[in-house]
Structure 1
Amino acid sequence: MPLITQNVDKSAIAAAFSRAATRYDAAAQLQRKSGEDLLYIAGRLMNNDTNNDYGQSVLDAGCGTGYFSRYWRNLGKEVIALDLSEAMLHQAKKQQSAGTYLLGDIEHIPLLNKKIDICFSNLVMQWCHSLATALAELYRVTQIGGIIIFSTLAEGSLDELGRAWQQVDGHRHINDFPSVAQIQAVCANYHHHLSCRLHQFFFPDVFMLMRSLQGIGATHLHHGRKKGLTGRQKLNALQAAYPVNRRGYPLSYQLVYGVIYRD
C-alpha cells in the first residue's frame, strides 16, 4: 500500500481553523455540500440494508463547529465530536452538537479499538500527514460490521488559483493534493467504494475568492507561508492573471467520496 505523505504543520492548521471558528459556518459552502453528499450516501446504505443500521455510536472525525454532529445526534445517535482545533470544539459545545467532545488528531485518535459503529469524516483527510495513517486509525476504532464514510480533496482542487499564482511569482501557493489513483491505491486493501465529483464556485472578484478561503481556515499551510502574498499589489496581479468567465472567477474542487466497510 503506497503512503501519501506531505509536510503538514498541525499546530498551524489548528491555529488557522481556530481563527476561522466563529465565522466558519457562514463561509463553509463546500464543506456543507460535501457533508450533505456524505449524508446522502450514508442514508442510502442504511435504507438498503434492512438488517443493519450500522449501530448507535458515531465519531465525527474533524467535526468543526459540529454542524454534521448535530445531524447525527438528531437521528438519536451517540455522537463523539473530534477536532484538532479547540476553538472549533468550543463552537460545537456551544451548540450542543454531541454527547462527547475530544480534542485530538485524526491520525492519533484517542479512542480504544473497535469503539465506534459509524465514522464520519468530511473534508479532513487533506490536512493529514498520511492518508493511509488516517484511514488506518478510523478503521482501528470502528467496530466489525461498521462503516467509515469520508470525503477528501484530490488533485485538480484549487487549480485555477495555483495556475494564476504561478504566473504572478512562479509559485503555486496551494496545498498539494493526491491524485484519485493514489487515493484508490491507499484504499485498495479495504472493502471499499469510491466516487468522484467536481464542485465549482464562482466569485465576483479574486478578493472575495481569497476571503472565502480564509473564512474556512483553508490557507496555504502544507509548506508554510511567505510574507507579502496577500498584499494589495499581489492580489491585483493575481486577479489580472486569474481566468474569468461570464459567471465570475471560478474555484474548483475535485472531491473523492469514500465508504470503507469494517470487516
Structure 2
Amino acid sequence: MSVNKPAIAAAFGRAAGHYDQFAGLQRQSGEQLLTLLGGTRPATVLDAGCGTGWFSRVWRQRGTRVLALDISPQMLESAARQHSADQYLNGDIEQLPLDDGQVDLVWSNLAVQWCSALSGAVSEMCRVTRPGGQVAFSTLLSGSLPELHQAWREVDSYRHGNRFLTREQVIAACGGRSLAAHDTQITLRFPDVLTAMRSLKGIGATHLHEGRPATTLTRGQLTRLALAWPRQQGEYVLSYQLFYGVIRCD
C-alpha cells in the first residue's frame, strides 16, 4: 500500500494543538496495551508514533528512559513542551533513525496503520530492540468505522475512511515471530454528527490512503449524515476494531 507520508505528517501536525482533547480512543487503546504488558519495567522505551507524548509520560513516570519518535515535527514540539521524553526523534517507523538493539521495548500505540507495509515496520521495531526485549503495538483492523461508511453512502460515492488490514494480515505481517495477540472493539459515543466528525479531524485521522476531492461539509450533507448515521440510545457512535500485539524479540 502506497502511503503519502508528508501528507500524513501534515495532517497530524495540524491536529497537534488540540490532539489530546480528542484522543480518547488512543488512551483507551494504550491502557489496554499496558495491561497486556503486565508489570514489564524496561530500562529504555522507544515510543514510536508518540503524538503529544501521553504514553511517553506514562513510561517516564515509571522511571524508564524514553525516546519519543514521531513523523510530525509539531507533535514532537508538543511532546517536548510537556517534558514527555528524554530524547526526541523526528522520523518514520519504517526507517527508524536508530542503530540495532538500542531499546528494551518499542511501544507503538495506534500508529502503524499509517505505514506503507506493516511487515517492514515490525522488522524495524524488532531491529532496534535488544535480544529478549519486546515490541508492543496496537493498530486498527478492517471493519472499523462502519457507521461512518454507512452514513456517507447516503451522501456520495466516495470513500470517507481508510481500509485497514484484517487480523490475519496483521499476524502474517509479524513474520512468524513470537506473538501474543488480542483484539477488541471500542465504541465511542457523541451527542451529534458534527462532534463525531470533529473527533476524527481532531486526532489527525482525516488523511486518506486513497485520495478524494477536498470538499467542505455543507448543511445539507450534515443533515443527510445525521439521518443515516447509526445511533445507540440517541447517541451517534463510531466503532473501532483494534488489534494488540506483543512480540518477544530474540
Q: Same fold (TM over 0.5)?
A: yes
- Is 1:27 the equivalent of 2:14? no
Amino acid at match of 1:39: L
Distance in 1, matches of 2:152 and 2:80, equals 38
Q: How many angstroms does 1:234 deviate by?
A: 2.0
Q: How many angstroms does 1:186 deviate by?
A: 1.7
- Spell out, residue by residue over 1:24-81, the C-alpha distance to the aligned partner (whole angstroms, 9 max, x if none): 111100001111111112224x3xxxxxx4x411000000011100111111111100
Runs (4 or more) in structure 1 with deviation over 4 Å come to none
Q: How many angstroms does 1:107 deviate by?
A: 0.6
Aligned to 2:217: 230
Aligned to 1:142: 129
The question of whether the paired residues in 2 share the 8 Å contact of 1:168 and 1:241 is answered with no
Distance in 2, matches of 1:77 and 1:223, equals 38
Amino acid at match of 1:148: V
- Is 1:213 the equivalent of 2:196? no
Distance in 2, matches of 1:41 and 1:132, equals 22
Structure 1 counterpart SS, 2:92: coil
The question of whether the paired residues in 1 share the 8 Å contact of 2:52 and 2:75 is answered with yes
Q: How many angstroms does 1:206 deviate by?
A: 0.9
Structure 1: runs of 5+ lacking an equivalent: 1-5, 47-52
Distance in 2, matches of 1:171 and 1:22, equals 29
Amino acid at match of 1:36: E
The question of whether the paired residues in 1 share the 8 Å contact of 2:8 and 2:207 is answered with no
Structure 1 counterpart SS, 2:231: coil
Amino acid at match of 1:62: G
Aligned to 1:60: 47
Distance in 1, matches of 2:4 and 2:44, equals 30
The question of whether the paired residues in 2 share the 8 Å contact of 1:173 and 1:220 is answered with no
TM-score (normalised: structure 1):
0.91
Deviates more, 1:227-236 or 1:24-33: 227-236
Structural mapping, 1:1-263, within 5 Å:
6-44=1-39, 46=40, 53=41, 55-228=42-215, 230-263=217-250
Structure 2 counterpart SS, 1:151: strand
Q: Give the number of aligned pairs.
A: 250
The question of whether the paired residues in 2 share the 8 Å contact of 1:8 and 1:127 is answered with yes
Distance in 1, matches of 2:78 and 2:203, equals 14
- Spell out, residue by residue over 1:119-160, the C-alpha distance to the aligned partner (whole angstroms, 9 max, x if none): 000000111111111111101111000000000000111111
Structure 2: runs of 5+ lacking an equivalent: none
Q: Percent identity?
A: 50
Deviates more, 1:103-112 or 1:178-187: 178-187
RMSD of aligned C-alpha atoms? Answer: 1.3
Structure 2 counterpart SS, 1:175: coil
Q: How many angstroms does 1:19 deviate by?
A: 0.8
Distance in 2, matches of 1:26 and 1:9, equals 26
Structure 2 counterpart SS, 1:33: helix
TM-score (normalised: structure 2):
0.96
